[in-house]
Structure 1
Amino acid sequence: MPTSADIAADWLLSGLELRSTLFHVGRYCGAYRASTAGHQRASFHLILEGACWLHLPERPGRPQRSVRLGAGDAVFLLHDMPHCLTPEPNAPAAAEYATRIGTMSPLNAEPTDGDGLALACGFFEFRSDLGDALNALLPDYIVVRHDDVRFAGARTLFDLIRAETARNGDSPSPLINRLTDVLFFYALRAVASADDFAPGLWSVMQRAEFAPLVNAIIERPGDDWSTHAMAAFCHMSRARFCKQFAESCGQPPAQFLAILRMKVAAEMLRRGASMLNAAEHVGYQSESAFAQAFKRVTGLLPGACRRAHPRHPSAAVH
Structure 2
Amino acid sequence: MSIATDQLVHWLLGSLELETTVFHVGQYCGRWHASTAGRALGSFHLVLHGDCFLHVEGQPPIALHPRDGVFLLRDIPHFLSSEPNPASLPPRVAMQALSAAQVGSTGLACGFFHFRDALSELIVSSFPDYLIIRAEDASLRAASTLFDLILAEAGGDPDHASPLIARLTEVLFFYVIRHVAQQDEIASGLLSIARRAEFAPLLDSMMREPGQDWSTDNMARLAHMSRASFYKHFIDASGQPPAQFLLQLRMKIAAQRLHAGDSVERTAEHVGYRSHAAFSRAFKKIIGEQPGAFRRASRQRAATQRLN
**TM-score, normalising length: structure 1:** 0.89
* Amino acid across the alignment from 1:36: T
Taking the aligned partners of 1:248 and 1:190, their CA distance within structure 2 comes to 19
Change (3 A) 1:157 1:168: same
One of 69, 73, 89 as aligned partner of 2:68: 73
Change (3 A) 1:110 1:263: closer
Taking the aligned partners of 1:92 and 1:232, their CA distance within structure 2 comes to 59
One of 102, 111, 114 as aligned partner of 2:93: 102
Contact 2:17 2:120 survives alignment (8 Å): no
Contact 1:246 1:252 survives alignment (8 Å): yes
Gaps of 5+ in 1: 59-63, 314-318
* Amino acid across the alignment from 1:277: R
Within a 5 Å distance, the mapping from 1:259-278 to structure 2 comes to: 259-278=248-267
Secondary structure of the structure 2 residue equivalent to 1:309: helix
Judging by fraction of residues, say which structure has more helix: 2
Change (3 A) 1:171 1:72: same
Within a 5 Å distance, the mapping from 1:224-243 to structure 2 comes to: 224-243=213-232
Which residue of the partner structure matches residue 50 of structure 2?
50
Within a 5 Å distance, the mapping from 1:1-318 to structure 2 comes to: 3-58=3-58, 64-90=59-85, 100-111=91-102, 114-128=103-117, 130=119, 132-166=121-155, 171-310=160-299
Change (3 A) 1:169 1:245: closer
Contact 1:55 1:65 survives alignment (8 Å): yes
Taking the aligned partners of 1:46 and 1:282, their CA distance within structure 2 comes to 40
Which residue of the partner structure matches residue 306 of structure 2?
none
CA offset digits 1:263-305 (Å, max 9, x no partner):
2211221222221111111101111111111111111210111
CA offset digits 1:26-52 (Å, max 9, x no partner):
111100011111222111111000010
Contact 1:12 1:263 survives alignment (8 Å): no
Contact 2:17 2:116 survives alignment (8 Å): yes
| Alpha-carbon shift at residue 200 of structure 1 (Å) | 2.6
Taking the aligned partners of 1:148 and 1:138, their CA distance within structure 2 comes to 20
Taking the aligned partners of 1:132 and 1:310, their CA distance within structure 2 comes to 19
| Alpha-carbon shift at residue 82 of structure 1 (Å) | 1.3
Q: How many residues align?
A: 302
Change (3 A) 1:20 1:170: closer
The alignment yields a C-alpha RMSD, in angstroms, of 2.2
**TM-score, normalising length: structure 2:** 0.91
